Structure 1
């Protein structure tokens, strides 16, 4: 597929503005943010004040809700390709920049669900305050008791009783559920478990965070990081009662919704990962070229293994970026469902690239690389988790292999046709002396 990556003048201006905002405002605020996160139980009750200051500035700069692509009237009319280039910049400061722009998961995916499938009342009640950055949200899909990489395994029941739905289920790794600003869950469960189609059994319902029966059991950690105040939590839904109007688009539409939600979201994760990799490489280069840091009589960059690692990281970052931009462009042309092959390739390649890049950088930093003084340890945890989140590597590889192997019959027919043509050509050759005179038919 030809890839042009033509960016509009408006996107180029946003690129410049966002780069300055991240470098001059977000990165210097990282230590302030961490110092303002509460201690103990307060980690789940305190929102660092610095984030609200940054949100106000981002909004004044026109750097707000950039993720919602031009198919939605509520968005800034950027293409997925254009947003992908901006998303990479926020990845340089993943803890702060995405939220400062109101472009952080899981809110971005949830806002897109409301924008695409929500009723006018659902948009008024949830989409508007989410887009204003007044509340946050959670998407409850992954489960504790089953292998959630196969979403047909999802067990929670969404039962219709009179004019309400009753929800019972046990979820975990629910991002955003620990945030005191989280006011709404989108919950996936089975509303029709006896449906002949495994992909029509599921529905998604809206559950207000304060509804009786919703219990945030505990925050979970990723290699010790709890990502407070948002967190990734274990959540139980016990006889949770919501009105029928809280169904999203209709019963049995759960798979349709998550496919539309997860495709662009995976690209967002990948582009932020590339931004993290770029910052990782910058940190590594600054470290190994520091004239004050020497081993065996020379700076680190003069050691062949270090120099080779820098070159390898650069190659893999550039290759990964092209992969993701191609997938984003494909989504723009044929939507997320039509771009599944490209999304799968990017989702496998990029987190593995980031994990490898960070690992090499940590090795160059030595003990400092695994400390809290640099972001590398957190980046490494994020990269490893991303190889599981939004579908593990194995699921995407299996899906990609299925796409490729589906072409088997066509490829064999093509090869048989070539073989037959060669046979006809050979049969038409006539010998003459010590050379062949061949007539092509």
Structure 2
């Protein structure tokens, strides 16, 4: 298992890092200022983001996430990992490179399962960055960590499907460019448990689709991206809008969430790296009780533990990426589950130590730490809670011994 980056990847790392240093970090504050100056924070995209997106596209740093595809950069998961990590150092960066969730997952879904017409109508504009999308799976009235609980109905009526249901945490729906929602619901409640669900494309301007409210996360509204609660009331779309075919919704969800989960973990490693970097700069410059904070034993322990935890999470993530590339997502499901449980907690640990080192400033918006912490905390249940991933890890581990026991008997 080789984790040495190729010359191609090293060159891309250098280019992405240079772009971050030249354009992303210096414009983070300007982006927030432009957003705050808008009358409606969900009404428009701050000009600086659009300018940076164009710069990234012209620089060829665009759609790097899509592996082995004529649509993307042709990078494997292992090759993309260090690039995604760099982007994860800033909340502004992923979309600038057109590598942001949920659009990446939706693009991969359409590229893998969509018809040629669906690709032309929705995938190509997403790849160009001219539109945005959201993913409507989670529901307020059921435990959506079990996707088979989804209750929204998708009923065929002639040449149309009629959709009814309430969804929330449909991330990306607040963006004024969001023109398409991928909705998961039940087409056949009487089918086998994992074949009851389907996914369907619903344009955001379809009659009966209503954004009820935008949901804040620990007080952050994540504008203009946002997380919406949406009701679908007798929403009608053509039969041709179903993705793959009826009953494939659960299978599609599993295919979509594998890459999405590893991308989150890659970005979390980048967020943790930035937090550690900020912490080290702070403790070198800050003096308390007659010596720099960096000379305090407890602070040195924080730094050492942070470095060890980041390296452990990175190696586990690279192993998962390697397995996804070589044996496929299904065979790598234990490794994917492990990184999804490990990376958010690791990032929370590191960012929390950095906040502690900064003191009161660490909980303000004068540093990126508070927002990075919030993002990491939500990822302990987004794309599946820790407990579900740990249960899967344990079952897969126990299965090995059950097989051994059966062979002995």
TM-score bracket, shorter-length normalisation: over 0.9
- Out of 252, 258, 266, the residue aligned to residue 261 of structure 2 is 266
Cα distance between partner residues in 2 of 1:316 and 1:261: 27
Q: Is the 8 A contact 1:219 1:226 kept in 2?
A: yes
Aligned to 1:80: 77
Shift of 1:409: 2.8
Shift of 1:56: 1.1
Cα distance between partner residues in 1 of 2:81 and 2:162: 39
- Out of 265, 275, 278, the residue aligned to residue 273 of structure 2 is 278
Shift of 1:89: 0.4
Aligned to 2:223: 228
Cα distance between partner residues in 2 of 1:254 and 1:269: 22
Cα distance between partner residues in 2 of 1:6 and 1:60: 28
Cα distance between partner residues in 2 of 1:39 and 1:62: 31
The SS at the match of 1:289 is helix
- Out of 252, 257, 281, the residue aligned to residue 257 of structure 1 is 252
Q: Is the 8 A contact 1:38 1:45 kept in 2?
A: no
For 1:237-294, what per-residue CA distance to the aligned partner results, in whole angstroms no more than 9, with x for missing partners? 100000000000100010111111100110000000000000000000000000xx21
Matches within 5 A, 1:172-251: 172-195=168-191, 197-251=192-246
The yes-or-no answer on 1:107 pairing with 2:103 is: yes
Cα distance between partner residues in 1 of 2:247 and 2:208: 24
Q: Is the 8 A contact 1:370 1:376 kept in 2?
A: yes
The yes-or-no answer on 1:376 pairing with 2:359 is: no
Cα distance between partner residues in 2 of 1:309 and 1:335: 37
Matches within 5 A, 1:29-428: 29-38=27-36, 42-70=40-68, 72-93=69-90, 95-195=91-191, 197-290=192-285, 293-412=286-405
For 1:379-435, what per-residue CA distance to the aligned partner results, in whole angstroms no more than 9, with x for missing partners? 111111000100000000000000001112344479x79xxxxxxxxxxxxxxxxxx
Q: Which has the larger radius of gyration?
A: 1
Structure 2 unpaired stretches of 5+: none
Q: Is the 8 A contact 1:281 1:361 kept in 2?
A: yes
The SS at the match of 2:279 is helix
Aligned to 1:435: none
Shift of 1:12: 1.6
Aligned to 1:438: none
Aligned to 1:25: 23
Please report the TM-score for the alignment, with normalisation by the length of structure 1: 0.91
Aligned to 1:437: none
Cα distance between partner residues in 2 of 1:326 and 1:177: 33
Shift of 1:7: 2.8
